[in-house]
Structure 1
Amino acid sequence: MALETEASGGTAPLDFTTFYNVIDGELVSTSETRHSVDPTTLQPNPESALSTPADVDKAIAAAKKALQSWSKVPSAERRGAVLRFSKAIQALKEDFAIMLSKEGGKPLIPSAQLRFAREEVDIAAGMLASLQFHELPDVVIEDSETRRVVTKYTPIGVTVGFVPWNSPLTLACLKLGPPLVTGNTVVLKPSPFTPYCGIKLVELAQRFFPPGVVQVLSGDDNLGLWFTSHPGVDAVSFTGSTATGKRVMESCSKTMARVTLELGGNDPAIICADVDIKSVVPQIVHRAFFHSGQICVAIKRLYVHASIYDEFLTELVKETRDVAMSNGDHPLTFIGPIQNSLQFERVKDLLADIAKNGYTVALGDPQTAAQKGSYYVRPVIVDNPPEKSRIVAEEQFGPVLPVLKWTDEEDVLRRANDTRQALGASVWTEEMDRAERMMGKLEAGMVWSNAHFELHPFASVGGHKESGLAVENESSVALRPPGKFDPSLFRSSSIRNTDLIPVPNEANPVLVRKMLSLHCHVAICNFASAAHLFESNPDDINRHLGEPVRSEQVHDGGASRNSFAESL
């Protein structure tokens, strides 16, 4: 089936009513189809392709063929194609936002239903646009009279990107961008729950990349295993649950395909006694409940110093009630449904455990929070439950937040580190010496001060312990030899209060904050509290990145993301 070319500028409309595989530059139908469900209405979404092993073979063969020429295209041309692709996504923002809302779910309040979907489109396109600055030249290790030693970065080959259901557009771009700019070919495998944006993203990509360079296959639970066991696959990037990630790694071990895993996280945030409560609380609400908590690096455990615990909890409850249960007048209303029935049942099970054990609830009712006839769950805040309770020990991936007291710094660090899902963590304090000290002791892939889940376009995204393996979001991930890649460290503003903007506005959706310090694999990201947001365009990035401060020793670590087990 013929596809639009870049001759139109790449902005001609896409048909968002039909969803085919894209193999070797062509739309390909399948004899059988499947569909997911709109989590807002529980009505069926459109039919999408149900791929077979033969489809996988064809896609991998096309990717292998395309690799021979794409890997030889100059880096500047590859980056230019990705930049034009990002602009085309922006041009079709409204179409992608509508589809994103239908497959991912909408907030309860009509006025907010498309606002956050539009922002995700902005973020996804901005992530791709930032890759125009990624360039990895040869590294001369020695150049003497007797010998010359050079490290050259060459493409891995055919990569497969597994995209989770909680962020089907942004994470699809994360799977596509770095491999493409570094000369690899990519086959995208979207989640069976949310295949639609990924399919249209790759259909759009055909206008900018040669046949076989970017492809997409959708399907059921069998598709992932066919990819991970295929001898023609050179690398797999998987975002999903820890349990499924282990199965991906086991399957890939048979062919020794390189594996990048971004898995679950039970992220703690530690609130110190010196914070400005009025300023910090809105930020915590956003970082715990945005997208109904269905974000890999959302705050999952909140530790508040005992001296301010009661006041902080009161403000937290008030702000959450205002944001999540308003009549739509609040600008930050962002509570939507749980995306699918399996995760909805898991959240309901955690709520039932709270009710069964009689834990004190500061907001909501665990017995009625899950709405009948939909996948909506009203926010629940649990007041100081036991440390070993399920609501503390397990990643919720829903709008349920345990709040716990602490008094001793070493003790709270021990409690925060008491998890195998160590994706992110944060410390909130006015005293930066304390922040640096506590950050250095937190065992997580990404650690922030006075911020949480704020990512930099040039910094790696990675986890620790069972939160994953290797890193994403930097060009070196898609190259061999892997080596070590030390990003520059950026100087932050001297303003250190906590007036961070809790939600990016529509004019500045791409969310970059300058960092005080940054490690690559175990990324310590100490953000300036002043929240200098800027758009991800060339002038702004060049102007705001700041001068390098120093190099840091890179620590070893994994990678992580998402939460709920989805099958291969």
Structure 2
Amino acid sequence: MIAINVYNPAKPSEVVWTGNETGIETIPTMLSKAKAAQKSFAHLSGRQRYTIISNFLDALEKRSSDIAERMILEQGKLAGEAAGEVAKSLTEARWMLGRCLEQVGEVMASMRPDVKAMKLRRPRGVILAITPWNFPILTPLRKVIPALVFGNAIVLKPSSDAPGAATILYDVACETLPAHLVTILYGGSKVANAAILSEDIAAVTFTGSTDVGKLVMASAAQGLKEVSLELGGKNAVIVHDPENLDAALEHIVRSAFANAGQRCTAVSRVLAHEKIRHDVIEGLKRRIATLRPGAGHDARSTLAPLSTKGQFEKVASVVSDLQPAQASILIGGKPAKNDNGGYFFEPTLVEVHEKDCFLNTEEVFGPLLGLEFYQDVQEAIERVNDTPYGLSASVFASSLSVVRAFEEGIETGMLHINHGTFPDENMPFGGWKASGIGAASVGAEAAQFFTRVQAVYEGL
């Protein structure tokens, strides 16, 4: 067996979770049991599934503090961020749970007088969910609940960098749900690929980097499996003419540095109108200077560590590779001093001078915020869209005509007007272009992935 050790990013010498990689040879039996469990579960009524899943969520909520503690130790979240993630996850899950009791099909206009035509949605079967380390409970639960709501079984493969929260989810599932309805796999790409290629997997949902998403899609294509990919982002905020600039800058800093910038929807670019250059620079610098890197259990901490050594080294390398002609560091720009060798990096603001600088197009995933300036609305729109990604964007403007121009011109799956890039629990979550493919998760759109349409003709 291959051992998995997880280290505390705030104190990398400390091992905080241990486990073993799932043996490839055991996967077929695990998936076969999941498939049998799904067939029984799919025959239950919506009310029966509602009761079963509700009991699961009640039991999971009782483990909230344990889940939050796992995230603090394994992923480095601040205590408040960890508690907030658990709460948001449960709120979102309970909103989705209500769809057990809603219509999942429709009666269509019939072309023949003696035939009733219906469009029904059926469960897909066994869903494989591959989840990342940056949201160790939100992302797994975002996939587990709709899978169960629509009558599927689900196989969860969490990141080996922060698997503890998903393990608690699995333990609670074993205690409260029908056997084998939720299965967990541990390991890396080999384990994931073995599951993807299995004939017992009907569909694959993945959240992570765009590069890995392409590999997942290529493997799934071999079995013509449905995929849902939630991928990277290079999310911009446009600061045009807000009624309250101070409030706008507060939103931006929270959106940029929450979870140490390790969110796919984190703000990583600010485009501000040239006429407010000075106020934006000074306002951002002043707020960023107040952020205090520190461990999650330290109440004084306001900026979490980077979650892995690899991510820490990537951010440091990106900053060191910047050339003076490309960008200027306005604040931060180096590892933050600490006593335990933790993966802390100073919150960093960079003024970007070249439009084609890699900071404008490449996802960094850290506490690094790029700042640019523009002259007119059309220029701002073009520069926001000049990236392979299209996940999220935000606009701060008071003019209705300007807001409308941004609404119609920006190419992202999610657009926020006069607030930061934090999504609601009942709204579609998904991106355009290289930020994702397939049905958006969360909300009614989730049914498009977790079910398949069946056209039914019923003779009278």
Normalising to structure 2: TM-score of the pair? 0.91
Gaps of 5+ in 1: 1-30, 107-112, 484-568
CA positional deviation for 1:189 = 0.3
Partner SS for 2:373: strand
1:123 and 2:93 correspond: no
From 80, 102, 106, give the equivalent of 1:139: 106
Greater length-normalized contact order (CA 8 Å, ≥ 6 residues apart): 2
CA positional deviation for 1:80 = 2.5
- Aligned mates of 1:200, 1:314 — CA distance in 2: 44
- Aligned mates of 2:280, 2:145 — CA distance in 1: 41
- Cα distance, 1:184–1:368 mapped onto 2, change above 3 Å: closer
CA deviations 1:345-394 (Å, max 9, x no partner) are: 11111111126657322211x24558792211111101243221122221
From 202, 213, 224, give the equivalent of 1:234: 202
CA positional deviation for 1:32 = 4.2
CA positional deviation for 1:451 = 2.2
CA positional deviation for 1:239 = 0.5
- Cα distance, 1:242–1:280 mapped onto 2, change above 3 Å: same
Match of 1:481 in 2: 453
CA positional deviation for 1:331 = 9.0
CA deviations 1:501-521 (Å, max 9, x no partner) are: xxxxxxxxxxxxxxxxxxxxx
Partner SS for 1:222: helix
- Kindly provide the amino acid, as one letter, of the partner of residue 154 in structure 1: R
Partner SS for 2:88: helix
CA deviations 1:414-436 (Å, max 9, x no partner) are: 00000111111111112344223
The question of whether the paired residues in 1 share the 8 Å contact of 2:10 and 2:295 is answered with no
Of stretches 268-277 and 238-247 in structure 1, the one that deviates more from structure 2 is 268-277
Match of 1:44 in 2: 15
- Cα distance, 1:324–1:305 mapped onto 2, change above 3 Å: farther
Match of 2:411 in 1: 443
CA deviations 1:469-521 (Å, max 9, x no partner) are: 112113413111299xxxxxxxxxxxxxxxxxxxxxxxxxxxxxxxxxxxxxx
Partner SS for 1:178: helix
- Aligned mates of 1:272, 1:333 — CA distance in 2: 32
1:34 and 2:4 correspond: yes
From 358, 381, 403, give the equivalent of 2:349: 381
Gaps of 5+ in 2: 456-460
- Aligned mates of 1:333, 1:117 — CA distance in 2: 13
Give the structure with the larger strand fraction.
2
The question of whether the paired residues in 2 share the 8 Å contact of 1:45 and 1:102 is answered with yes
1:76-91 matches, within 5 Å, as 76-91=47-62
Partner SS for 2:176: coil
Taking only aligned residues, the RMSD between alpha carbons, in angstroms, comes to: 2.3
- Aligned mates of 2:28, 2:143 — CA distance in 1: 20
- Aligned mates of 1:347, 1:36 — CA distance in 2: 21
- Aligned mates of 1:180, 1:432 — CA distance in 2: 42
CA positional deviation for 1:131 = 1.8
1:157-172 matches, within 5 Å, as 157-172=125-140
Partner SS for 2:161: coil
- Kindly provide the amino acid, as one letter, of the partner of residue 250 in structure 1: A
- Kindly provide the amino acid, as one letter, of the partner of residue 434 in structure 1: V
The question of whether the paired residues in 1 share the 8 Å contact of 2:325 and 2:353 is answered with no
1:316 and 2:284 correspond: yes
- Kindly provide the amino acid, as one letter, of the partner of residue 136 in structure 1: Q
Of stretches 255-264 and 113-122 in structure 1, the one that deviates more from structure 2 is 113-122
Match of 1:489 in 2: none
1:284-363 matches, within 5 Å, as 284-324=252-292, 334-354=302-322, 359-363=327-331
- Aligned mates of 1:71, 1:390 — CA distance in 2: 48
Equivalent residue pairs, number = 445
- Kindly provide the amino acid, as one letter, of the partner of residue 117 in structure 2: V
The question of whether the paired residues in 1 share the 8 Å contact of 2:331 and 2:348 is answered with yes
- Kindly provide the amino acid, as one letter, of the partner of residue 108 in structure 2: I
1:337-486 matches, within 5 Å, as 337-354=305-322, 359-364=327-332, 366-368=333-335, 373-470=341-438, 471-474=440-443, 475-476=446-447, 477-481=449-453
- Aligned mates of 1:410, 1:480 — CA distance in 2: 41
Partner SS for 1:34: strand
Of stretches 185-194 and 202-211 in structure 1, the one that deviates more from structure 2 is 202-211
- Cα distance, 1:208–1:426 mapped onto 2, change above 3 Å: same
- Aligned mates of 1:231, 1:155 — CA distance in 2: 16
The question of whether the paired residues in 2 share the 8 Å contact of 1:369 and 1:380 is answered with no
- Kindly provide the amino acid, as one letter, of the partner of residue 84 in structure 2: E
- Aligned mates of 2:370, 2:206 — CA distance in 1: 29
- Kindly provide the amino acid, as one letter, of the partner of residue 208 in structure 1: T
CA positional deviation for 1:270 = 0.6
Structure 1 moving runs of 4+ over 4 Å: 325-328, 330-333, 355-358, 367-372
- Cα distance, 1:327–1:66 mapped onto 2, change above 3 Å: closer
- Aligned mates of 2:324, 2:193 — CA distance in 1: 38
The question of whether the paired residues in 1 share the 8 Å contact of 2:239 and 2:270 is answered with yes
CA positional deviation for 1:252 = 0.6
CA positional deviation for 1:405 = 0.5
- Cα distance, 1:357–1:35 mapped onto 2, change above 3 Å: farther
Identity, % of aligned positions: 25
Of stretches 125-134 and 157-166 in structure 1, the one that deviates more from structure 2 is 125-134
